[in-house]
Amino acid sequence: MLDLKDYGITMWEEEKIASFREKLLVWYDAHKRDLPWRRTQDPYKIWISEIMLQQTRVDTVIPYYERFLDWFPTVADLAQAPEEKLLKAWEGLGYYSRVRNMQKAAQQIMENHGGVFPSSYEEISKLKGIGPYTAGAIASIAFGLPEPAVDGNVMRVLARLFEVDYDIGVPTNRKIFQAMMEILIDPARPGDFNQALMDLGSDIESPVNPRPEESPVKEFSAAYQHGTMDRYPIKAPKKKPVPVYLTAFIIKDSQGRYLLEKNEREGLLSGFWHFPLIEVESLSGNLGQLSLLDGKGEAERNPEILSFEQDYDLAIDWQDRSYPIVQHVFSHRKWQVQIRYGLVKEGEQPATESTVWLTPEEFWDYPFAKPQQKIWMTFTENEN
């Protein structure tokens, strides 16, 4: 077991720990949020909520959670769900590897556990996409096991309680906070204890504008008592996401349908449908600015337009329209997207394995990731 004294951390005596647990849980009982996943001990439902809550705000998650359980009420339903319906259920939540891993984990449960969610921390941890935090949350909340669930909120609270001089953003430092929680966690109410610390960290002890004077455990907080709240937790600033410039082609045919393409590549937004996208070196302005320079046709002037017409074998009447740049930030990339709008000049346009022609009313049947939703919204708002 990790010796916390080696890290300059002296834990409290048992009597103080018992007092801390009591005050925290009394506060939680009085102030806990009424959330749908807190009305159940079903490990499947708790698992769904915990995965959705990663990188996503609670108020955003609630309608997704309820719809997801309506569409996939059991592990078996999730295990055999078609990919497009699965992505549609997750559409807009981002970090789509989460839902793909959930399906793989559901398939593991069906194959290795007869469709019954495993009840030990060790077996839960073996499921695809479940790390120490999620395993601890499910084990403690669904099965009452004294397993810590250490997320960013919990580390923030602990860093202030004990003035921990280790960066909470460094993954290898997580073991320090894990060891602290193994000592602090309430063995009688481990799930409530974990959730109480999460609630405290997400509200009163939030990263921005904390209100430590309102904390139910302020008398235990070394940072509060010593006036060092502004120092803790220690966390190095994130690296800025790398800018990526793209052109989105919104192409309409004579029947009012739009060209969509399926992303068949592995990785970011795999499996989603989108307007054709081409990465460019920079954003080049509107068509009018580009086409007046020497009288040549736009396809001859602009490499991205020429590339599109060749790749998709379409004759396009490009519209001289200007649209706001669409921005979308991923964890490591910042997309900046310019929109090109064109009308198909002639003929029936057949669909292919990776492309379809859809009316806007049919968009609902296909999974659109958030950037594509933003592109469509920007287009429609500026066409009226």
Task: Locate all alpha helices (DSSP H) within the chain, ordered by sequence.
Answer: 14-31, 43-53, 58-71, 75-79, 83-90, 97-112, 121-125, 132-143, 152-162, 174-184, 190-202, 222-226, 287-291, 298-301, 303-312, 370-381
Kind plus residue range of the DSSP H or E element containing 247: strand 242-252
- Does 219 participate in catalysis according to the annotation? no
Q: How far is residue 52's CA from residue 34's CA, in Å, rounded to a whole number?
A: 17
Question: Considering 13, 14, 22, 50, which one is annotated as catalytic?
Answer: 50
Upstream peptide bond of 233 is cis (omega within 30 degrees of 0): yes
Q: How far is residue 334's CA from residue 375's CA, in Å, rounded to a whole number?
A: 14
Residues 6 or more apart from 342 whose CB is under 8 A from it? 249, 250, 251, 252, 316, 317, 318, 319
Q: Do residues 320 and 291 lie in contact, with contact meaning Cβ atoms separated by under 8 Å?
A: yes
DSSP string, 37-66: GGG---HHHHHHHHHHHTTS-HHHHHHHHH
First to last CA, the chain: 65
Please list the active-site residues.
50
